Amino acid sequence: MDRFVFLTFDGLSRGAVYAAFALALVLIWRAARIVNFAQGAMAVATAYVGYSVADATGSYWLGFLVAITAGLLLGAGVERVVMRFVDHSSPLNGVVVALGLVLIIQGVLGMIYGNEFRPAAAPLSRDAFEVGGIALLSRYDLFVFGAVGAVVVLLTLLFTRTPTGLRMRAAAFAPDVSRLLGVPVGGMLTLGWALAAGVGSLAGMLVIPTELGLHPTAMDIVFISAFTAAVLGGLDSPIGAVLGGLLVGLLLSYISGYLGATVAPMAVLALLVVVLLSRPDGLFARSKARAA
Amino acid sequence: MTALQDRAATKKAAHRQRTRLSPWIVVVVGAVIVVALTYTLPPFRTYQLATVGAYLCVTAGLTVLTGLNGQLSLGHGALMATGAYTLALWQNKFNLLPVGILVAILVTTAVGAVIGLAAARLRGPYLAGLTLAVAVVVPSITSTFDETFNSDQGLSVMLNPPPESMTNEQWQAWLCWGGALLTVLVLALLTRGRFGRDMKAVRDDETAARLAGISVARTQVAAFVVSAACAGLAGALFAVIAQSVSPGAFPLTLSLFLLMAIVIGGLGRLSGALIGAVLLVALPAVAHEIGEAAGSQRLEGNLALTFFGVVLVVVMLAAPGGLASLRIPFKKKGH
């Protein structure tokens, strides 16, 4: 029972990261109808930048801020320089270009930093507090919940309460009409990519200390888990992404805890297959978003 | 006027003749060229030639799947791993290579059929995501069942020495190109007939294909199964060339490389698969030399990675028209 409680909290902490990462996927999907397969690699790249700054200055928090800023810039840059020019007549074109970006980013990171795992320290203790002899949460878990929760709240406020959020939604759902009404649709798309990549960087910074550390391919499995979470939520629904992320995190925590860590990736694959084949519209999507 | 018509007619006939070059002739000419090359090239180049042949098996299959049928697979690296591991396990138990290759193809075909059944119900990014997951899962399978697959270290492959009349490299080149030419022949004959037309019809317009009485799901599964068989053969040949298999030999980047190869080579044409296979061997070799010249080990593998990525992005941005065969109907929301 103690173990079950511990695994549940651990799963929610993992799930919060997957939720943030899935949210980033959903943001781009809603804005541009593209699944950004380069998201994991982009997050790793900014995490490298963040940890380089942290090493150079001795301040983790400065590195943390730099990483997220780098994420915002990288997202905007990728949209402006590459994604804007993709021929969207087939959804596969965007996928192929994103996969090309994965190769570029992993290659460049390998050239600069090498292909071995580099240690990445967590800023806060990862020892769990004990309540009545049961290990619950660590300081770091609380930080993860706080950071992801803040992002979810800020994004919700941005999209529902601000004029910019309204313009972004309008640009995504009715680009032609929005353009006629004076909304800078291209700018909104760039902003959407920047926000998504910033959220992805945050997720990367949060998850990398809990995994093996920094490596050009460190986020591959995290990406698959987050993709599964986003698909579980319907790919169109931010709430779905968050709930999907928490569900996937819990599932993976139980499976790693009871069956062994190496089984977890296979469980993600199995879950993805089951979700895609049984509920192809996701648990939370309203209309036929899946037709693309 | 009639002269003009005549000229147009001869032009058309010439064009038809060029595109309808019999695959049998191509294969025979190819075999003669390969045999001639194995007796003229130095051993290392012959080894590279063998590798091109092994790559050609999988790029040809992937060309059919992605180019003609419009299904994007990132799981073909994992399918190659299936073939390679099957061959290794078989060889270490029975040491009977021809049967082993056949078994490797059969096992991979079965695995491909399972993925293909799921793939036939998925489109675009969903299929890509599923196959990506398949590719990422390979190392965790080998470590979970480490008594069979021996985790990250992998397995060595037991092989009999080649016939005395030829060197090891020559034997490898003959074996790989035997497989490659057979693959190309089978695929060319398959895609020229009804199956090829069905696949293109499904790729271009699923609804129309269904109206014309084509079973969309059956065609898609069949295309996936055929290309999986090719990947299984390629994996088995790689295991023979390297004399070992390990998860490190089949990373996600391998699947991305294969995608790059068929995109650059020109989707939908088997000649494009050959160009892609040559590039897959040539570009890393060039990157290796640049890395050595610069004296940097870090540069070596990563230079090829970066270069492949840049090429993939540039080709997709600059020549999307050349990728017309990639198009599958994009159904807008609410229609």
Q: Tell me if chain B has a CB within 8 Å of the CB of A162.
A: no
Q: Map tokens 């992937």 to a residue.
A: B62
Residue A276, chain B, CB below 8 Å: the answer is yes
Q: How many CB atoms lie within 10 A of CB A288?
A: 13
The token pair at B45 is 């180049």
DSSP string, B245-297: E-GGGS-HHHHHHHHHHHHHH-TT-HHHHHHHHHHHHHHHHHHHHHHHHHT-H
* Lookup: tokens for A111: 């050239």
* Chain B interface includes A157 (CB < 8 A): no
Tell me the ipTM for this assembly. 0.89
Taking the Cβ of residue A292 and every Cβ of chain B, the question of whether any pair is shorter than 8 Å is answered with yes
Residue A91: per-residue pLDDT: 76
Is A111 in contact with B302 (Cβ distance < 8 A)? Answer: yes
Q: Please list the alpha-helical segments (H only) found in chain A.
A: 2-32, 39-57, 60-81, 91-113, 139-161, 163-173, 175-180, 185-207, 220-233, 238-259, 264-278
pLDDT of amino acid B325: 43
Residue of B nearest to A259 (CA): B144
Residue in A closest to B66 by C-alpha: A92
Check residue B6 and give its pLDDT: 58
Give, to the nearest 10 degrees, the angle between helix A238-259 and helix A139-161: 160
Q: What pLDDT is recorded for position B17?
A: 45
Cβ distance B309 to A102 less than 8 Å, yes or no, reads yes
| Cβ-based burial of B332 (10 A; exposed 0-12, middle 13-18, buried ≥19) | exposed
What distance in Å separates residue B326's CA from the closest CA in chain A?
A: 7
Q: Which residue of A has its CA nearest to B325?
A: A90
Residues A149 and A15 sit within 8 Å (Cβ to Cβ) = no
Alpha-carbon gap: B230 to the closest alpha carbon of chain A (Å): 22
Written as one string, the DSSP assignment of B192-212 is HSHHHHHHHHHHH-HHHHHHT
A interface test, pick of B250, B264, B305, B328 with most A CB neighbours within 10 Å:
B305
Question: Which residues on chain B are in Cβ contact (under 8 Å) with A97?
Answer: 312-313, 316-317
End-to-end CA distance of chain B: 49
How far apart are the C-alpha atoms of A107 and A85, rounded to whole Å? 23
DSSP assigned state of A116? S
Residues 203-242 of A with CB under 8 A from B: 217, 220-221, 224, 227-228, 231
Distance of CA B299 to the CA centre of its chain: 27
Q: What residues have CB less than 8 Å from B153, skipping those under 6 apart? A: B246
Query: Is A145 part of a structural domain of the chain?
Result: yes
pLDDT at B147: 87
Query: In percent, how much of chain A has pLDDT > 90?
Result: 62
Question: Which residues from B are below 8 Å from A288, CB to CB?
Answer: 333-334
Please check whether residue A52 lies inside any domain of the structure: yes
Q: pLDDT tens for residues A90-141?
A: 778 888 899 999 999 999 999 999 888 888 888 888 887 877 777 778 889 9
Cross-chain residue pair A110–B74, CB shorter than 8 Å: no
Residue A252 lies in a domain: no
Cβ neighbours of residue B281 under 8 Å, at least 6 residues apart?
B48, B51, B52, B55
Length of chain B: 335
The domain spans of chain B are: 23-250
The residue behind tokens 């159904």 is B331
Its domain, for residue A151, covers 20-216
Q: Considering the domain boundaries, does residue A239 fall inside one?
A: no
Spans of chain B below 70 pLDDT: 1-20, 320-335
Q: Which residues lie closer than 8 Å to B186 by C-beta, 6 or more apart?
A: none
With beta carbons under 8 A apart, name residues in chain B contacting A272. 129-130, 133
Report CA torsion sign: B309, B314, B317, B319: negative
Who among A101, A217, A277 is closest to B309 (CB)? A101
3-state secondary structure of B156: strand
State which residue of chain A sits closest to B259, comparing Cα positions: A96
* Domains: count for chain A: 1
Report the distance separating Cα B101 and Cα B141, nearest Å.
22
Q: Average pLDDT in the A182-200 region?
A: 94
The pLDDT value recorded for residue A292 is 40
What's the CA gap between B106 and B329, in Å, rounded? 33
Is pLDDT larger for residue A135 or for residue A202?
A: A202
Q: CA of B54: how far to CAs of A8, B51, B182, in Å? A: 47, 5, 12
Asked whether the beta carbons of residue A89 and residue B327 sit closer than 8 angstroms, the reply is yes
Contacts of B121 in chain A (CB under 8 A): 276-277, 280
Interface-testing mutation among A99, A109, A113, A116, with chain B (most B C-beta atoms within 10 A): A99
User: CB–CB of B253 and A227 under 8 A?
Assistant: no
Which of A96, A228, A264 is facing B263, going by the closest CB pair? A96
Nearest CB to A104: which of B130, B298, B313? Answer: B313
Q: Which amino acid is at A223?
A: F
